[in-house]
A and B are shown apart, each in its own frame.
Chain A
Amino acid sequence: MIVERSHAPLPATPLVELRAVSRRFVKRAERHRSFQDLFIRLLRGRKPPQDLFWPLRNVSLAVHPGDSIGVIGPNGSGKSTLLKLITGILEPTGGELYVHGRISSLLELGAGFQPDLTGRENIYLNGSIYGLTRAEIDARLDDIIAYAELGDFIDTPVRHYSSGMHVRLGFAIAIYTEPDLLLVDEVLAVGDAAFQRKCLHSIQQYRDRGGTLFLVSHDLDAVQSICKRVIWLEDGEVQADGAPTDVVMAYLNHVAQTEQEKTRRAGIPSSAEIENRRWGTGKVRITAVELLDTDGQPSKVFYSGAPLSVRLRYVAAEPVANPVFGLAIHHDSGAHIAGPNTRFGGLEIPRLEPVGSLTYTIPALPLLEGQYVISVAAVDSVDSETYDYHDRRYPFQVFPGQANERYGLISLGGEWRLDPASESSQADPALEARRPEAVAQTRS
């Protein structure tokens, strides 16, 4: 294990370089935490079996000045361990780690604030935790105070700050330390929306000034919009390292596949639970419900914009006239999204054969990413007798696929049109007066 750190970047050298770095942890329960335990262990005279795990295995990567790198991956994939190794909070178990340059991390804003001291005093304390000298903090003091928007509160003990003020001050100090490498871990999830935008803007400005950025986030959009390179970490190993769109796409495909396998395996809830969500007279029994994908294969995972078919198999003990079959699609949140049935669909069934199946086909699934569940039912023609009802028993999942809509539950399939300025828009002088720059642009 070799670790080398310095506070100044070296010419023609990466700021951070990991060569085959691994990190091992001993699971907490196996450790002795007191002299008492140690003593008992010595008396017993044997070593407890150690339960080891490797949050990072054989990771190699280099961060060059000016890079903006996003790190993605599921929880427990080793992202935080990686950040802690780079900052120096943890040391690697094996491999080589070189860090040259000053690092600030936005791991926890305001960590190390002393509640009895004023905001101003805490700027000095926190700044020196980041490794700044008094003179360096003096030079940045006014900027930090202005950025944090604390006004007169700057000379009030931090104890009396709201959580928002806390975060603003913490972020202001971190961003104004002007580190060679800025580590950001899910920090965009703090504060109110306006301050989040300001943070994001500051991080982008820092990047545009040539600052080096290492961003860990579950927000794939943020990663793609800020970073020029993305690393996908999973099971402690680098799965992919490259252009944001490629890596994010590969990651999403992998997530979809894993989900698909998981739902396929975990499959159906317990039979008792299912029976509780089924009722009806049984004149017609729905014996099987299948969700079919593009290729007509049963699946639980679908993509927005791709076909989805629902096939119901039924058995009718006696001849039934004019039955109505229907579906209900619910979102995970409980919202009832659609309820197609054979009558609405114009399919009259004067006399039902004893055995058969019905298929409802959605040519292009308008649902957006999320969890959904289907109910099926067979009722009589006037909806007075329920033959069979399966209430919310068939879950499925929708992934974005090729669709690029992201907000809400469904895609309305509408179209946008941009009209160039015409006489009619100039006819509204009030509007034009308010937007003189628009006029200038149009005329130039």
Chain B
Amino acid sequence: MTVETSSAQQPRRSPSPIAVVAHRLAELFRYRDLVRNLVVSELKARYKNSVLGFVWSLLNPLGMMVVFTVVFGILWPNNQIEKYPLFLLCGLLPWNYFSASVVSSMNSIVGNGSLIKKVYFPREVLPIATVLAQLANFLLAFIVLFAVLLIFRSNLSPWLWLLPVIILIQTAFTLGIALILSTLNVFYRDTAIVMEVLMLAWFFLTPIFYSIKQLPTHYPFLGMNLDVHRIAYIVNPMASLVNMYRDMLYYGYRTDPDFFFRTAATALAVLAFGYWFFIRYSSRFGEEV
């Protein structure tokens, strides 16, 4: 009873990190049909289970728009933003896309634990498919947005063709965050609880129901003079993103190139880090979920 080994092969060295990432990307590409099937099944499952089907996904932002308009337009009469429902929707829809993606992808690994323990496939398809399903929802919600645009006769930006690029930048950023959080949640199961609070804070720190122009440029803090307006822009990519959407759809402005490129670079950096973080730890998912 001998143990067979093929002595013809030479011992091999560990592959370089770049080769690892390239291999993982090729593997992901091989499983592209799985990503598509997961997205389709997630959308199908969501719309099959409710009577109103996908109409719900259109009514939800409309309902939120009404609530915020009542709160900040009527209960808070010193609001000076004109066409407030449109202004609001331009911030609310991208935020909803971001927040729904983060919340649902956080559970995408742990929630599929039984599958992960039984079958091998590149684990990143799960958060990716979750985010892409939310993207599909976001795009559907543009039906509502364009209806509101028509009602308010908004002046569209001549640079409107940038809109898909902005959506792409947001998707890259969202995916990066989703990859990090879905990994963290495997090892620390209270990630979701921590994120609940953080997402609420993030929502208020993002100029969704207010304009970033309303933030003070001078705020005394410990003897320093803080430019809150500028800090909000630089620290929070979601603020930049929301503003870019508004430039396209609300202000009719071409958007500032420095912010555009800085946000794009930030989003790609977050995505790259998130992907590295994910593949660094995903080999342990099989024992941890």
Contacts and interface: CB of A to CB of B under 8 A. Distances in A.
Interface in A96-126: 96, 103, 105, 107-108, 111-112, 114, 116-117, 121, 124-125
A131 B49 contact: no
Interface string A1-20: 11010010000111001010
A396 interface: no
Nearest to A4: B12
Contacts of B11: 96
A133 B283 CA distance: 24
A89 B116 contact: yes
Interface in B5-52: 5-6, 8-9, 11-15, 30-31, 33-34, 36-38, 41, 44-45, 48-49
Given A19-B5, A35-B188, 12 more contacts: A33-B187, A35-B194, A60-B3, A87-B120, A89-B286, A107-B119, A108-B119, A114-B41, A128-B33, A129-B34, A238-B3, A241-B1
B254 interface: no
Contacts of A131: 30-31, 34, 121
A241 B2 contact: yes
A242 B4 CA distance: 10
B14 A2 contact: yes
Contacts of B191: 35
Contacts of B256: none
B189 interface: yes
Interface residues of A, number: 52
Contacts of B190: 34-36
Contact of A60 (B1, B5, B49): B5
26 contacts: A2-B14, A12-B8, A25-B287, A33-B187, A33-B188, A33-B189, A35-B188, A62-B5, A64-B4, A88-B120, A89-B116, A89-B117, A90-B283, A91-B284, A96-B12, A105-B118, A107-B119, A108-B119, A111-B115, A114-B45, A117-B44, A124-B37, A129-B34, A129-B121, A238-B3, A241-B1
B119 A111 contact: yes
A283 interface: no
Contacts of A238: 3
Contact of B30 (A7, A32, A103, A240): A7
Given A13-B6, A125-B37, A89 B120 contact: yes
A19 B284 CA distance: 21
A90 B286 contact: yes
A111 B30 CA distance: 21
Contacts of B194: 35
Interface in A348-364: none
B119 A240 contact: no
Contacts of A64: 4
A13 B9 CA distance: 9
Contacts of A62: 4-6
A2 B41 CA distance: 36
Given A19-B5, A35-B194, A125-B37, A117 B45 contact: yes
A132 interface: yes
Given A89-B286, A247-B1, A116 B44 contact: yes
Contacts of B117: 84, 89
B114 interface: yes
A34 B189 contact: yes
B39 to A, nearest CB: 11
Interface in B190-214: 190-191, 194
A38 interface: yes
A61 B283 contact: no
Nearest to B1: A242
Nearest to A118: B44
A351 B14 CA distance: 86
Interface string B174-192: 0000000000000111110
Contacts, number: 116
A262 interface: no
The 10 closest A-B pairs by CB, nearest first: A88-B120, A242-B1, A128-B34, A89-B286, A116-B45, A34-B190, A91-B283, A128-B33, A62-B4, A108-B118
A240 B38 contact: no
Nearest to A7: B30
Contacts of A89: 116-120, 286
A134 interface: yes
Interface string B82-121: 0000000000000000000000000000000011111111
Nearest to B3: A60
A117 B189 contact: no
Nearest to B194: A35
A17 B6 contact: yes
B115 A125 contact: no
Contact of B33 (A111, A134, A246): A134
A130 interface: yes
B41 A125 contact: yes
A1 B38 CA distance: 33
Indicate the member of B8, B12, B33, B121 with the most A CB atoms within 10 Å: B33
Contact of A117 (B6, B15, B31, B41): B41
Interface in B244-283: 283
A426 B93 CA distance: 88
A112 B33 contact: no
B190 to A, nearest CB: 4
B188 A38 contact: yes
Contacts of A124: 37
Interface in B110-158: 114-121
Given A35-B188, A84-B286, A128-B31, A116 B48 contact: yes
Contact of A2 (B12, B31, B38, B49): B12
B278 to A, nearest CB: 15
Contacts of A116: 41, 44-45, 48-49
Interface in A289-326: none
Contacts of A242: 1-2
B5 A125 contact: no
Given A35-B190, A90-B286, A242-B1, A121 B44 contact: yes
Interface string A120-148: 01001100111111100000000000000
Contacts of B115: 111-112, 129
Contacts of B41: 114, 116-117, 121, 125
Contacts of A134: 33
Contacts of B8: 12
A7 B30 CA distance: 10
Contacts of A4: 12, 15
